[in-house]
Structure 1
Amino acid sequence: MTAGAGATAGPGAPPPGARASSPVPAPLPAWPVTLAEAYEGSAPGGRRDALRVRVDTVAGRLRAPEPRVAASVAQLGLAARLWSVALGCAVLYGRLPDLGPRLLRWDPLASAPDDLWLTEVRPLPGDADAAALARTVLHGHLEPLAAALRTHHGVAAGLLRGNSGSALAGAARELDRWARAGGRDDLADRAGALTDDLFAHPLLRATGTRTGTVFRRHSCCLYYRVPGGGLCGDCCFTRSPRSSPRGASG
């Protein structure tokens, strides 16, 4: 993530120091938006709701058969990026940057993984313990994101929380792998301890079972419903519900 760059003159703007004979209309703001705007459903400058744009974009790329499948996949991708950034900073530096939704910007039309960047880089006070990570990611981002997706796309709350747990477990697993490959068992151990504490949180406790870095979730993200899709490595199913006579609701 990087801090935002300064403003530059747009097409059709007079050169610096020139006096325009008439006001130049300001162009409509382009993507990206802040994540706060995405969660709140605000669309400044006449743009569409950014979360709806993201879900539609994912649906088109995956040929998802129903909006809630695309909404689940979109939320899982954003959750993974948020957990990766926050947990990585906490483990490596013992501090967290301010990742407030009004500071983080996001382009809903971009490809995966989701790119996030800060308009201002500043550290949060205090240690980066599990409580700080929960405030920053769970309460600051994933709960308002889930609320918006439940309202507009009818995705079950348990599924979205399962996605949050899966994303956290995946971030922790990759951090553990990277740290141990570099001979930094201390960092791997810290990542494991923080993740254990996070999974004790009421919003994550029931999302799955974690043994070491292995996680088995208690819900399904619905990716198997995508044409050509299958089961994720931590899925609650052992075989695709499509092979079952009764199917599954996800």
Structure 2
Amino acid sequence: MEPDPRPAALDALGGFFVLRTGVPPHGPLPTLADAYAPRESGGPREVYRDPMTFRIRTVAEGIGAREVRVAASVAQQGLAARLWSVALGSAVLHDRVPDLDPELLRWDPGAGVGDDLWLTEVRHRPAGDLDAVVRAGHLVPLNAALHSRHGPAPGLLWGNAASALVSAARGIDRWASARGRRDLGERAGALAAGLLAHPDLAGALDPRTLRRRSCCLYYRVPGGGVCGDCCFDRPPRSTPSGGPADRPGG
């Protein structure tokens, strides 16, 4: 495969791998740096005064979540999946990653997958910078902002991030296997394993089964259940205070 470092070259892998570039055509959008910033720092003054809260409210309405921490968890896992997918896909296919500096990455908190992220300046970094680009550059400030503002436990949020990373690697593996490129799937798995060794992510999954040791709380959505990699075999009984069901990272 000839390397094509343009972000659009990842579109074939699926919606989570799509990264738009240039200036968003539908007006100014906040950056992800705006979304992570403390509320008192101001942030964008136009449509999205608090883009993170806007996203969480949008998610809550979409899934019918009654608890803000549940919507925050679902929103965080979706954003983590987008960032891991774009960076990991580029590292596997092109041996480089786009510089996803939060100041360069504009975010539409009301848009769906594939139309939410816009990279205003395309520049590249070595594949070895994957951890710095995603975990350190995004997940650390994202998780800190969500925990302080909306309550999800750090263990839950890092469990979401680890699960999203594994899902991205598996998506690449399926795509590669269908095209007879098992080497690319193996590279995705190797890179993901290296990333999961970081202390923030280590311990979030069972190393043998890659099953989570925490719960994303999706079972608390009306009609929701447990995910395929959940620490629970079946939805636990909810209690008014969250109860024992939330103890594994919730």
Q: Deviating runs (4+, > 3 A) in structure 1?
A: 5-8
Give the structure 1 partner of residue 116 of structure 2.
115
Give how far 1:206 is off: 1.0
1:136 aligns with 2:133: yes
Q: How many residues align?
A: 222
Percent identity of paired positions between Structure 1 and Structure 2: 58
Give how far 1:48 is off: 2.3
Name the SS for the 1:117 alignment partner.
strand
Give the structure 2 partner of residue 24 of structure 1.
none
1:238 aligns with 2:237: no
Query: Is this contact kept in 2: 1:165–1:207, CA < 8 A?
Result: yes
Query: Is this contact kept in 2: 1:31–1:107, CA < 8 A?
Result: no
- Which of 175, 178, 191 matches 2:175? 178
| Partner amino acid, structure 1, of 2:20 | T
Cα distance in structure 1, aligned partners of 2:142 and 2:86: 17
Cα distance in structure 1, aligned partners of 2:29 and 2:207: 36
What TM-score does the superposition give when structure 2 sets the normalisation length? Answer: 0.83
Cα distance in structure 1, aligned partners of 2:106 and 2:133: 15
Gaps of 5+ in 2: 1-18
- The within-5 A match list for 1:200-219 is 200-211=197-208, 215-219=210-214
Give how far 1:113 is off: 6.0
Query: Is this contact kept in 2: 1:231–1:239, CA < 8 A?
Result: yes
1:4 aligns with 2:22: yes
What TM-score does the superposition give when structure 1 sets the normalisation length? Answer: 0.83
Q: Mark the CA change 1:151 to 1:92 in structure 2 (over 3 Å): closer, same or farther.
A: same
Cα distance in structure 1, aligned partners of 2:23 and 2:141: 27
Give the structure 2 partner of residue 248 of structure 1.
245
Higher Cα Rg: structure 1 or 2? 1
Q: What's the RMSD between the two structures over aligned residues?
A: 2.0
Cα distance in structure 1, aligned partners of 2:59 and 2:190: 34
- The within-5 A match list for 1:66-85 is 66-85=67-86
Cα distance in structure 2, aligned partners of 1:143 and 1:6: 26
Gaps of 5+ in 1: 9-29
1:44 aligns with 2:44: yes
Give the structure 2 partner of residue 187 of structure 1.
184
Name the SS for the 1:234 alignment partner.
coil
